[in-house]
Amino acid sequence: MKLCILDNDFLDPAVAPTYVGYGAMFERLLRQAGADGTFDIFNTVKGEYPASFDPYDAVLLTGSKADSFSQEPWVLTLKDKVQALLKSRKKLVGVCFGHQLIALCLGAKVGRAPQGWGAGRMRYQWLAPELAPGREEVALLASHQDQVFALPSGTRLLATSDFCPVAAFGVDGQVFCVQAHPEFVEDYSAFLLNKRRTMFGEERYQAFTQSLAKGHEGLAVARMMVAFVNA
């Protein structure tokens, strides 16, 4: 596997020494899921991109604190790159911000979710049994206030919930996108929750935090990603 990871954020300095960045978090997770080969990480906020995407089997877009529909120059540059990648039929994996940006490039509407923040451990109905035989549900760690409002034309719904109807979608052989964060670990989620404790209010903060003790299935989703890239 030769994977290009477009890291779309910087971590808080308090946790950067531990987790490095979202690109590094994904590399660790995907290797745990059985991936081997080369992982090249580029930070799009700094304007970093490979000279060519041609050598890569797939491109993975990480999450970000930025909005996918932002008019920030670096987001617009990334959007242009993604549109070109879609046109060339390069395999794309998108997570959170990446999931939303790919949906946006496919013509879907993305924006602030009227139901507010999704955070902590969240459960989704899994709709693609051929990707995970016997699986009817997946639990993942989430952190988002934006959502994809409608399934992009020409794509398939892979996961859904009442809170996040378009929780994952795909295009056979080309796109695999998920709103929640398979790369997160409980301690990192707890750090993010604590940063927003006042905003959430104590009752919601406690509920989100307590949900982390139930664990999540990020590794199972990572195995699906590895299979997608290797197919």
Eight-state DSSP code of residue 31: H
Contact 53, 90 (CB under 8 A): yes
Count of C-beta atoms within a 10 Å radius of residue 165: 16
Active-site residue list: 96, 181, 183
Distance of CA 184 to the CA centre of its chain: 10
CA 213/CA 133 separation, integer angstroms? 26
CA 132/CA 76 separation, integer angstroms? 35
Contact 191, 207 (CB under 8 A): no
Q: How far apart are the first and last CA of the chain?
A: 10
Eight-state DSSP code of residue 214: G
Average pLDDT over residues 18-43: 97
- Using pLDDT thresholds of 50, 70 and 90, give the confidence band for residue 206: very high
CA 104/CA 111 separation, integer angstroms? 10
Contact 177, 110 (CB under 8 A): no
In 3-38, which positions are buried (b, 16+ CB within 10 angstroms) versus exposed (e)?
bbbbbbbebeeeeeeebebbbbbbbbbbeebebeee
- Phi, psi for residue 126 in degrees, rounded to 5: -100, 125
What digits encode the pLDDT tens for the residues 78-100?
999 999 999 999 999 999 999 99
Count of C-beta atoms within a 10 Å radius of residue 65: 14
CA 105/CA 166 separation, integer angstroms? 15
Average pLDDT over residues 167-196: 97
What is the predicted pLDDT for the residue at 75?
Answer: 98
What digits encode the pLDDT tens for the residues 52-79?
999 999 999 999 999 999 999 999 999 9
What is the predicted pLDDT for the residue at 93?
Answer: 98
Contact 158, 182 (CB under 8 A): no
CA 212/CA 224 separation, integer angstroms? 22
- Using pLDDT thresholds of 50, 70 and 90, give the confidence band for residue 11: very high
What is the predicted pLDDT for the residue at 193?
Answer: 98
What is the predicted pLDDT for the residue at 106?
Answer: 97
CA 17/CA 2 separation, integer angstroms? 26
Average pLDDT over residues 169-177: 96
- Phi, psi for residue 137 in degrees, rounded to 5: -150, 155
What is the predicted pLDDT for the residue at 200?
Answer: 96
What digits encode the pLDDT tens for the residues 97-147?
999 999 999 999 999 999 999 999 999 999 999 998 899 999 999 999 999
Strand 38-43 relative to strand 91-95, pairing: unpaired
